[in-house]
Amino acid sequence: MSRKMSKYLSRKIKFIAVFAMVAVVFVHSYNFKDSFLTPRTRISEGFNAAAMFEYFFSNELFRFAVPMFFAISGFLFFFSYENTAQCYAKKLRSRVRSLLIPYVIWAVLSGLLIMGIAQIPFFSDLPIVTEKFYDWTQFYMYLINPAAFQLWFIQQLMIFVLISPALYFLIKKTRGVILIIFAVPWIMDFSFIINFSGLFAFSIGAAMAIFGKSREYTRSENRIQTMIYAVIWILLSLLNTYIAAFADNSFIFDIIMTVLYKINEVVGVIAMWFLFDHIAKRIADKKGFIIAATHLFIVYVLHEPMLHIFYQMALKQSGSIMGHLALYVCLPLSVGAVCIIVSMALRKNLRKVHSVLTGGRQ
């Protein structure tokens, strides 16, 4: 039996996806020493206002984005799912077009980009180039470990799609209790082939779709409750930023930071989800947001490794504190705008190519 999503819920998901994609680009824009951020990453510079400013946004406030995308993906996948061979086969065919083909294309293109600029002396010693360079005999590695490293998200989605019948069965039969088991490796930040943080969020979205029936999980009429979530979100982000700057590398602080980080992810997702009902819904139909929502996928696949190349080039010339901060504020927005312009040009002039590159997204 087909289900129809309400217009309100559809608008809400699109708007949150736009904001979450902006957050993802900024997450990848942290440009101080430890640029690969994890829940336990310290600020090597210690008390450094610019580094702490970037860390507050990139590794705390904006970290809601990835679990939000996984939860939305799980919700959308299972919203019209029936645990039959026919439905499963249809979903697989759909995801081959929307996930697998774009994944292969963008993994290859990003690999060719790195191999190409590695031949230019000015670029050859950039960290993103030396870390992601494979020669022709190892080119297959770009399909496993893409230079566009954000493609790990699609890797995980493809795994979740493959195991979707098992996920449906476990969630349905246990009435969602299985989520408690999935939460254990999530809180431990454990991953092995499967990213369990992603699986946990994807499964929450799946459970919302499976048990939602006709009821909407969409609105919060309680402004005070929503603002409490938002305030806790900000305060937790500030606390963990402070700990990251001043804590030593002891095991106990690793645990504290990981737990606070995970709590902050959950609070951030809830706060962002309900803030729409009171603030963002008024601008969700604005032309700028509609354009951004239309071209999100190209922003996702194209912003890296381009973003890293640009800021590493710039920092190679000037590594001042103000230079770091100016790049952090300006470069993500500039790269995002370039991605949208490229997507608009492709869609207008090479519509079929745009369709293939985006997995049929319009």
Does residue 12 surpass a pLDDT of 90? Answer: no
Across the range 180-205, mean pLDDT stands at 92
Q: CA geometry: angle at 165 spanning 162 and 167, to 5°? A: 90
Residue 234 is predicted with a pLDDT of 96
Does residue 214 surpass a pLDDT of 50? Answer: no
Percent over 70 (pLDDT), the chain: 94
Kindly report the length of the chain: 362
Rounded mean pLDDT of the chain? 90
Query: pLDDT per residue over 27-66, tens digit each?
Result: 999 988 887 888 888 998 888 899 999 999 999 999 999 9
Of 14 and 60, more confident? 60
Spatial neighbors of 211 by CB under 8 A, at least 6 apart, are: 175, 176
Give the whole-angstrom CA distance, residue 299 versus residue 296.
5
Residue 2 is predicted with a pLDDT of 59
pLDDT band at 217 (very low <50, low <70, confident <90, very high): low
Q: What is the dihedral of CA 292, 285, 12, 150, to 10 degrees?
A: 0
Chain-centre distance for alpha carbon 183 = 19
Does residue 112 surpass a pLDDT of 90? Answer: yes
Query: pLDDT per residue over 351-361, tens digit each?
Result: 999 999 999 88
Amino acid of residue 347 = R
- Report how many helices (DSSP H) and strands (DSSP E) the chain contains, helices first: 18, 2
Does residue 202 surpass a pLDDT of 90? Answer: yes
Does residue 165 surpass a pLDDT of 80? Answer: yes
Question: HEC string of 80-126?
Answer: CCCCCHHHHHHHHHHHHHHHHHHHHHHHHHHHHHHHHHCCCHHHHCC
Q: CA geometry: angle at 30 spanning 159 and 24, to 5°? A: 40
Query: pLDDT per residue over 319-346, tens digit each?
Result: 678 888 889 999 999 999 999 999 999 9
Does residue 213 surpass a pLDDT of 60? Answer: no
Does residue 215 surpass a pLDDT of 60? Answer: no
Beta partners for residue 192, in sequence order: 194
Residue 143 is predicted with a pLDDT of 95
Residue 219 is predicted with a pLDDT of 67
pLDDT band at 282 (very low <50, low <70, confident <90, very high): low
Across the range 277-293, mean pLDDT stands at 72
Residue 10 is predicted with a pLDDT of 84
Instruction: Tell me which of 11-15, 33-37, 83-87, 150-154 is least confident.
Output: 33-37
Does residue 216 surpass a pLDDT of 90? Answer: no
Query: pLDDT per residue over 70-109, tens digit each?
Result: 999 999 999 888 889 999 999 999 999 999 999 999 999 9
Amino acid of residue 311 = Y
Does residue 280 surpass a pLDDT of 80? Answer: no
Across the range 242-261, mean pLDDT stands at 90
Residue 300 is predicted with a pLDDT of 96
